[in-house]
Chains A and B, each alone.
Chain A
Amino acid sequence: MHIDRYERQYLIAVAAVLGLFFAALVSSALVFGVRLPQPEGYINPLTLNRTVFANPGMRNMGNGVYDVYIVARMWAFDAGSDEKDERGQDVLRVPVGSTVNFYLTSADVTHGFIVERHNANIEVLPGHVGRSSTRFNEVGTFHIQCHEYCGRGHQNMYIKIIVEPADGSAA
């Protein structure tokens, strides 16, 4: 099969560029530790009360690391907080510089989970536990939204995480 000379050179360039892109991706995962959610275990959505999700909420793991267990259901994230916002939804608080591991599952349909301006993103499926970790380097209030259509109240399904200055003064 005849291939034009310029086209052959072009193909080599294409392969090189794509290869470079992919190498960058692999190093983002292996060298810089950017991770995607991956199987954290199965769970029966009808008996969440017999699992760690019976008590959703934040656990201080020490060294600036927090584990947060959240149950998504139509149409709220139950993060186990005592503090609520003006809509009656949970509010989370962490000191700046914290690394937070989010663990999510759903009690009903498929939901989503995304933290504004932070690369934490999960499809929250009933029957599965999803995990995503992120570091909060910036003081401020960030919305955590449901990003998968889950019915009539989907657009109102969001909570807030408040990142406070390390000395504990109000943000």
Chain B
Amino acid sequence: MQAVQPRPSSAPALQFPKLSALTSERWLVGSFVFVALLAISIGLLLGPAQAYRRAPALRWDIPVFSYYYQALTLHGVLNALVFTTFFIVGFAYFVTQRTLQRALASVQLAWASFVIMLLGVVLAGYAMLTGQANVLYTFYAPMLAHWTFYLGLALVIVGSWVAALVVFMTYFAWRKEHPGEAAPLAVFALLANYLMWFSASLGVAVEVLTMLLPLSLGIIKTTDPQVSRILFWFFGHPLVYFWLIPAYVSWYTMLPKQYGVKLFSDPLARVAFLMIMIFSIPIGVHHLFVDPGISELAKAMHSLLTFVVAVPSLLTAFNIGATLEKAGRARGGGRISWMWKQAWGDPLIAAQICGMLVFAVGGVTGMANASFTLNNALHNTTWVPGHFHTTLAGGVFMTYIGILYWLLPMLRGRALFARPLATAQVYTWFAGILVFGMSMGRAGLEGAIRRTDSGAVGAYTSEAAAPWMNLSAVGGTILLISIILLFTVILGTLFVSKREPQTAAPILVRAPDESPRWTENWNVWVALIIITNIVMWGPVLFGALNWVSGFWSTPYPMQ
């Protein structure tokens, strides 16, 4: 053990209260969490409504948003883009400060990131709520939305870049004050996440700025749909890892702390995060396997690297599994029985473990998606939402809720309201998402198409898929119960709970001695990201350019 030297420090020393938050944390982090919760208060409820609309036995109208694709746009954008991004940025600020035990490098910039992102949500929200942006969360050209939609989403991204800058600045300041010490794992992972996110979002930024925004403003009249899809999915796959890494931060650094055990291997956790950071971008063609403008060779290569990016998740399975074994044994479990000797009654922990279990299901279906020739059978069927409701709405979302169950009480300064309800929320979500994901997946194999208002007059659902679509509405009902429990707990914590908060933030402030320092060679990682993407995306982009009628030459169809 090294002795901890008291260092002369220029850092603004912050004394963090153990069970509650500083006023500055409360406002900054609280603002991000608040917008995130507002977003899902609309976004989540649309989920069951869509399931009821699509079930052949029901075909109910969606309340308020009667146009199916407007509802679906709101569901996708609010849940998958707004909720996630705000939650992640707020969480990253909280974790950075608490882990590094110092203030953010610039509180002004941190607030600027919030204001920019909020402005973005207001603009995009206006376009979506007024029905001027029924383009779904992937907004493929040449279908167009009102310009405020694109500008709004661009601002959300720019704001998140500012947030990334603040976290990096804080880390570099800490680095100066702590030479020779490895960054704690949570911060290391969040830095990797932001670096990946910044690199990836350049793609969608180019798409929005050179194609969609000028088109929607009428400045240009033509575009290139294939190139726009390529730029979108340069961003779109790393996007899903941007959601996942904060959940991994919780599994790797917070769950062991909550259990009072040590993570099985800190170095291999770092390797996993580095692999995700580097390999999550050069694989996005797996979303474009049946696109006409991309060669089969490029598709096969992106498929291969998609298999490689499964490795860090399989590493995670081992590392977290071994950590859970320690925890289970410490709770009296044996060789096998450690598996069920877990803290199933604690909603903070159960949310994470149940999340892992659903995520594993999603990992297996994801391998099927990654298999390029299988895509002929799966692409754009309901198999795909079946898959990502187990990963995103399952593993990731459940873990975020597990985090919220300690973060919200700290920010509010009140104990979690009705803990048994929170536990019930976790298990209903777990059951609901398994039923929903499995039935959507089966329906897809039987020919049901995703993103299709199959409840509309004259729409077609194959007979073989119909029972499965009906079952997905059952899953949606279990999830609806879980949503009601979730908001009861949240609102109760905010407005009803009177007791003092009970749980401290599960933050580890020092890396273990075996943590390798070479993993913090950020320059090398940046260079690797640039090289792999030139190799893997360069030919794809170049090959898709329309040399016959000229670039960006597809006319925008007048409707």
Contact = CB atoms under 8 A, between A and B. Distances in A.
Interface of A: 1-4, 7, 10-11, 14-15, 18, 21-22, 25-26, 28-29, 34-46, 74, 87, 107-110, 112, 114, 116-117, 119-132, 143, 145-151, 154-156, 158
Interface string B279-314: 000000000111111111001100110011011001
A120 B379 CA distance: 10
B547 interface: yes
A43 B514 contact: no
A39 B540 CA distance: 11
B380 A148 contact: yes
B292 A129 contact: yes
* Majority SS at the chain B contact face: loop
A146 B239 CA distance: 26
Nearest to A14: B314
B181 interface: no
A29 B226 contact: no
B8 interface: no
Interface of B: 68-69, 136, 140-143, 224-226, 229, 264-265, 267-268, 288-296, 299-300, 303-304, 307-308, 310-311, 314-315, 318-319, 322, 367, 371-377, 379-381, 447, 449-454, 456, 458-460, 462, 514, 516, 543, 546-549, 553-555, 557, 559
Contacts of B374: 25
Max count, chain B CB within 10 A of own CB: residue among A74, A110, A117, A143: A110
Contact of B310 (A3, A18, A34, A124): A18
Contacts of B264: 4
Given A36-B372, A110-B225, A116-B447, A147 B381 contact: yes
A125 B460 contact: no
B69 A149 contact: yes
B290 A123 contact: yes
Nearest to A149: B451
Contacts of A108: 142, 557
Contacts of A22: 303-304, 307
A109 B547 contact: no
A101 to B, nearest CB: 14
A114 B449 contact: yes
Nearest to B549: A44
Contacts of A107: 557
Max count, chain A CB within 10 A of own CB: residue among B295, B296, B516: B296
Contacts of A45: 554-555, 557
Contacts of B548: 41-44
B142 to A, nearest CB: 6
A147 B379 contact: yes
B373 A150 contact: no
B373 A34 contact: yes
B373 A126 contact: no
Contact of A125 (B225, B555, B557): B225
Max count, chain B CB within 10 A of own CB: residue among A4, A74, A114, A122: A114
A86 B318 CA distance: 57
B131 to A, nearest CB: 12
Contacts of A127: 224-226, 546, 549, 553-554
A125 B267 CA distance: 46
Nearest to A44: B549
Contact of A109 (B142, B291, B319): B142
Given A1-B267, A158-B460, A44 B553 contact: yes
8 contacts: A11-B311, A36-B372, A38-B295, A114-B447, A120-B376, A127-B554, A155-B456, A155-B459
A107 B555 CA distance: 10
A71 B310 CA distance: 38
A22 B308 CA distance: 10
Closest 3 interchain pairs by CB? A130-B292, A108-B557, A147-B380
Contacts of B226: 125, 127-128
Contact of B294 (A38, A120, A124, A131): A38
Given A42-B546, A145-B449, A154-B69, 10 more contacts: A7-B322, A25-B303, A36-B373, A39-B294, A125-B292, A127-B546, A143-B447, A147-B379, A148-B380, A155-B460
B16 to A, nearest CB: 32
Contacts of A10: 318
Given A39-B295, A44-B549, A127-B224, A154 B452 contact: yes
A122 B224 contact: no
B406 to A, nearest CB: 30
B145 to A, nearest CB: 12
A93 B453 CA distance: 28
Nearest to B291: A123
